[in-house]
Structure 1
Amino acid sequence: MSYDDVVSSLRTIYDARAAKRDATARQSWKLEERGAFLNRLKAIEAETLLDLGAGTGQDSAHFAAHGLTVTAVDIAPEHVALCRQKGLTAEVRDVLHLGFAPAAFDAVWSLNCLLHVPDENLPAAFRAVREVLKPGGLFFVGLWGGTDSEGIMEEDGRFFSFRSDERLLRYASEAFDLVDFHTINHGFHFQALTLARPLPQQST
């Protein structure tokens, strides 16, 4: 499937499931990942955050409650509508068409979003995020993975691209510096990366 086909299909599926997803609470281990990233953001005195693949805005609302100026983006209009009901700034956009000014954000949070991006488009997705992130800014990426496979899950209807740790780190290192990488096993292999946009090289 092309990236545009994936986005169109996922938009339909997520719009239909928006209310149910909004009523589903985050698992405790996801809250721990979010809390750890928030601590990193406080340490660098981040002020602005892009929530990429924001869903119904649960994480966006949490970051906003802790003083960050949050912009939520998602491919699904129903998700965006629920974000706005929470008082969030939210737009219907996808990772390859973000439309923000260069270096617009101090940080980017993306939980289980890039696993819907086909492998052939992942380098472009990382570059797109780097473009809107300030030098030295932090990017959290959380994904299901562990093995290399992609396609539509028949019982689910959604497209997924799963990657081995080595493959994912190779893609990430092409655009970012690695701050932290760890995995979590909750019946499925979860990959958590904290990345940083490299600072400009200083001439000597």
Structure 2
Amino acid sequence: MIGMNVRYDEVLDPLRQAYDTGAAWRDGVTKDPWKLGERQAFRDRLAPGARLLEVGAGTGHDSLFFQQEGLAVVAADLSPEMVERCRAKGVDAHVMDFLHLDFPAGSFDAVYAMNCLLHVPNRDLPTVLAAIRTILRPGGLLFVGVYGGESAEGPLDGDQHVPPRFFSWRTDEQLIGFATAAGFEVADFHPVDTGRGHRFQSLTLTATAATPTAGGGE
């Protein structure tokens, strides 16, 4: 188990290497029906033509879905291999990590973050959420989907990626606490039983116009 003082910039290179190596395999994975349901539910909240940023976009399957639904989509991922696969699908994609989201303030109506913020250590999650909130317009929506339910940080036992990836699992209260401290209001929260022994936390947030408080839900 990695110590609780790990920082995001320390896990970036191993994550990038793991996802670069696994890009081809991930591009061929069929999405579980519950993931498709979560994605559609978020789409249904968005106005026609909404401008959406997908962070941690992977190979771009979700970004392509949103684009085909008529949204103006931009994708970002820390893995150059993943970004190339997004671009091959006709998606406007950029190599960026969460601490370097180089977009103007208020430039998106929505941000979609499926199974990527679980790679951000708790120490840096307040900064990452604040960065996402900055690029959202007031009233914009953020979808955060992560595995969790218990509080722990470190590599996943039996991770098939090389090198093993860092994960941060959070209780429901921790996750919601981080979000509200960063200037978001909870529009919806529900857990999902994935059927594979993993508990998925589905959180849809609204960016407020208020100044976020310092700190987070640590």
Equivalent in the alignment of 1:182: 190
Choose which of 146, 164, 184 in structure 1 pairs with 2:171. 164
Q: Using the TM superposition, give the Cα deviation of residue 2 of structure 1 relative to its aligned residue in structure 2, in angstroms.
A: 2.3
Is 2:18 aligned against 1:13?
A: yes
Choose which of 140, 143, 147 in structure 1 pairs with 2:143. 140
Contact kept, 8 Å, 1:51 with 1:110, in 2: the verdict is yes
User: What is the distance in 1 between the residues matched to 2:10 and 2:130?
Assistant: 21
Q: Using the TM superposition, give the Cα deviation of residue 185 of structure 1 relative to its aligned residue in structure 2, in angstroms.
A: 1.4
- Kindly indicate which of the two structures has a greater share of residues assigned to helix: 1
User: What is the distance in 1 between the residues matched to 2:156 and 2:111?
Assistant: 28
TM-score, normalised by the number of residues in structure 2: 0.89
Tell me the percent identity.
48
1:43-80, CA deviations, whole angstroms, 9 ceiling, x for partnerless residues?
Answer: xx452000010000000000000111110000100000
Is 2:36 aligned against 1:31?
A: yes
Partner-residue secondary structure (3-state), 1:182: strand
Equivalent in the alignment of 2:215: none
User: What is the distance in 2 between the residues matched to 1:83 and 1:161?
Assistant: 26
Q: Using the TM superposition, give the Cα deviation of residue 155 of structure 1 relative to its aligned residue in structure 2, in angstroms.
A: 2.5
Gaps of 5+ in 2: 1-5, 212-218
Q: Using the TM superposition, give the Cα deviation of residue 152 of structure 1 relative to its aligned residue in structure 2, in angstroms.
A: 1.6
Choose which of 44, 49, 54 in structure 1 pairs with 2:52. 49
Is 2:8 aligned against 1:3?
A: yes
User: What is the distance in 1 between the residues matched to 2:186 and 2:8?
Assistant: 26
Equivalent in the alignment of 2:205: 195
TM-score, normalised by the number of residues in structure 1: 0.95
Gaps of 5+ in 1: none
Q: Using the TM superposition, give the Cα deviation of residue 23 of structure 1 relative to its aligned residue in structure 2, in angstroms.
A: 0.2
User: What is the distance in 2 between the residues matched to 1:32 and 1:155?
Assistant: 28
Contact kept, 8 Å, 2:109 with 2:140, in 1: the verdict is yes
One-letter amino acid of the counterpart of residue 189, structure 2: F
One-letter amino acid of the counterpart of residue 173, structure 2: E
User: What is the distance in 1 between the residues matched to 2:150 and 2:135?
Assistant: 29
1:94-133 matches, within 5 Å, as 94-133=97-136
User: What is the distance in 2 between the residues matched to 1:2 and 1:172?
Assistant: 19
User: What is the distance in 2 between the residues matched to 1:51 and 1:173?
Assistant: 21
Instruction: Give every structure 1 segment of 4 or more consecutive aligned residues whose post-TM-superposition deviation is greater than 3 Å.
Output: none
Contact kept, 8 Å, 1:46 with 1:106, in 2: the verdict is no
